[in-house]
């Protein structure tokens, strides 16, 4: 499935003194099988944007299309859409409510009309794919650690078999290993199930590592929509928007300023390592070749 936003604008409290233009001129397509990162300063409109994706809010103007159909058309089944576009909120642990983890994850598929047995099949599949340990299935979700709560909540959305999975800062407050584990599993979901992932994050390092497309929001508009490597070349502009590039981007630019011919578009540690090694090697070779200068 693919989503398309055409000339979308969203205004909070239109026509009143509290009118806020949260989004303007939004045109974008969310195709199948992509890992999309969204970054933006607080108040840039990114949370409003993801709420448009699964029809939680209706655009003030413009259209949201799912596979070519306007989701705000009279006969459109928006309920069905919401289970196809799964949204995991910033505090996924706030989405938990059942007595035990398995029932919690079963809630979504049962709401879709499945029996408890069928729902359990989906639930177990979802829990397995986020790496949730089986021994905790019957635990109360409120007794879990932060990382496990987040996994249970993600599984709850995943059990509905969405075509698009939207995650708003899913790793805030997790330790580095927990963060890498969860993001790794999300990336794997995309590989295994072809689900499109939309990840809202403050971590440029995580975006650089996992996303193949990066959307940058500022003051309600899309300012960049490109590969992370391309976007991070605008690191100075990003800073004026309260954002930044990954640390390696800055290192590579510094090295280049000082004369080392590195590829500054590399945005991950392995990429940076390789280009530095190459550049050092090239510089070393030339040094020998030009020893007579």
Partner 1 sequence: MGIIKALKLGFNYLKYDDDGKVEETRRAIDDVNLDIEAGEFIAILGHNGSGKSTLAKHMNALLTPTEGALWVEGINTKEEPELWKIRQKAGMVFQNPDNQIIASVVEEDVGFGPENMGVPTQKIWARVGEALGKTGMSTYHAHSPNRLSGGQKQRVAIAGIMAMRPKCIILDEPTAMLDPIGRREVLEAVEELRRSEGVTVILITHYMEEVIRADRVYVMDSGRIVMTGTPREIFSQVDTLRHYRLDVPQVTLLAYELKKAGVNVPDGILTMDELVNALLPETPEKAFTAESITTSAPDETAAAVNMTAERRD
Residues that bind partner 1 (CB under 8 A): 41-43, 145-147, 169, 172-179, 202, 204-205, 242-244, 246-248, 250-251, 254-261, 269-270, 272-273, 276-277, 279-280, 282-284, 286-287, 290-291, 293
Nearer to partner 1, 71 or 183 (CB): 183
What is the C-alpha to C-alpha distance for residues 249 and 263, in angstroms, rounded to an integer? Answer: 10
- Residue 70, both tokens: 């306007």
Residue number, 127 or 238, with CB nearest to partner 1: 238
φ, ψ at 99 (rounded to 5°): -75, -35
* Inter-residue contact 152 to 101 (CB < 8 Å): yes
Pick the closer one to partner 1 by CB: 8 or 276. Answer: 276
Note the helical H segments in the chain: 46-53, 78-84, 101-111, 116-129, 146-158, 176-193, 204-210, 228-232, 235-240, 247-257, 269-289
- Of the two residues 62 and 178, which places its CB atom closer to partner 1 in the complex? 178
**Cβ(39)–Cβ(49) under 8 Å?**
no
C-beta of 80 vs 277, nearer to partner 1: 277
Q: What is the rounded end-to-end Cα distance, in angstroms, of the chain? A: 62
- Closest distance of CB 147 from partner 1, Å: 6
At which residue do the structure tokens 């306007």 appear?
Answer: 70
**Residue 88 CA: distances (Å) to CA of 154, 197, 221:** 6, 11, 23
179 or 213: whose CB is closer to partner 1? 179
Nearer to partner 1, 129 or 203 (CB): 203
Nearest-approach distance from CB 143 to partner 1, in angstroms? 9
* Nearest distance from C-beta of residue 39 to partner 1, angstroms: 8
Shortest reach from residue 286's CB to partner 1, in Å: 5
We find the least distance from the C-beta atom of residue 278 to partner 1, in angstroms, to be: 11
Q: How far is the CB of 240 from partner 1 (least distance, A)?
A: 10
In whole angstroms, how far apart are CA 81 and each of 78, 193, 289? 5, 18, 65
| In the complex, least distance from residue 130 CB atom to partner 1, rounded to whole angstroms | 16
171: helix, coil or strand? coil
């Amino acid at each position: 499935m693919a989503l398309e936003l055409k000339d979308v604008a969203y205004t909070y409290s239109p026509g009143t003194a509290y009118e806020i233009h949260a989004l303007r001129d939004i045109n974008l397509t969310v195709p199948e099988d992509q890992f999309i990162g969204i970054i933006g300063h607080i108040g840039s409109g990114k949370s409003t944007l993801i709420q448009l994706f699964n029809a939680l809010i209706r655009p003030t103007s413009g259209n949201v299309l799912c596979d070519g159909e306007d989701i705000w058309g009279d006969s459109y089944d928006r309920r069905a859409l919401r289970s196809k576009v799964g949204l995991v909120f910033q505090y996924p642990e706030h989405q938990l409510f059942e007595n035990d983890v398995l029932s919690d994850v079963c809630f979504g598929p049962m709401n879709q009309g499945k029996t408890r047995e069928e729902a359990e099949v989906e639930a177990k599949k979802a829990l397995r794919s986020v790496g949730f340990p089986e021994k905790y299935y019957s635990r109360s979700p409120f007794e879990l650690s932060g990382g496990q709560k987040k996994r249970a909540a993600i599984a709850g959305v995943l059990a509905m078999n969405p075509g698009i999975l939207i995650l708003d800062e899913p790793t805030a407050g997790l330790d580095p290993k927990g963060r890498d584990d969860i993001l790794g599993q999300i990336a794997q979901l995309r590989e295994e199930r072809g689900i499109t992932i939309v990840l809202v994050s403050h971590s440029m390092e995580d975006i650089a590592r996992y996303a193949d497309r990066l959307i940058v929001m500022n003051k309600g508009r899309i300012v960049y929509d490109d590969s992370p490597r391309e976007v991070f070349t605008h690191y100075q502009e990003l800073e004026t928007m309260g954002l930044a590039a990954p640390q390696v981007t800055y290192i590579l630019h510094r090295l280049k300023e000082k004369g080392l011919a590195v590829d500054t578009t590399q945005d991950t540690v392995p990429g940076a390592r390789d280009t530095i090694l190459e550049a050092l090697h090239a510089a070393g070779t030339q040094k020998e070749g030009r020893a007579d200068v």
